[in-house]
Structure 1
Amino acid sequence: MVKSATELKAGDVIRFEYGDYDNWAECTVKEAVTVGNTVNVKGSRMGMNYELEFGPKEKVQVLQNGETEI
């Protein structure tokens, strides 16, 4: 499923390309707050906390049951 960054909510598991081309990372959203033209997302992955920023219209892939939709 694909959501805009403003639709993210706690518990969503997002998948995004990070660093290099075709280097995918997953993160569980703990909190998503819109501040001006930025959506600040706090999340965790493998015990590490992360803070990410997305544009409000940016699309984010959300996993369902740990799997991507094809």
Structure 2
Amino acid sequence: MTASLVLPSSRQAFAFARDGALPFSKYWHHVDSWTGTPVRTVWLVVGCAMPLGALCFADPVNYSAIK
């Protein structure tokens, strides 16, 4: 499910970077010449999603993600 959410999130982040709405937009707006994709923006989204996904394991009462 995470992979299916990274695709639209990275497209949206790239659009924000393209329009100058993100900090360091010139860095995030870079399109890789070999793959033709915004690799930096994808890694930005993955880097933001991983800590948020790790919060699933932080429930000390119910342990809902571990059961």
TM-score bin (small chain): under 0.3
Greater fraction helix: 2
Which structure has the larger Rg?
Answer: 2
Greater fraction strand: 1
Per the normalisation by structure 2, the TM-score is: 0.23
Per the normalisation by structure 1, the TM-score is: 0.23
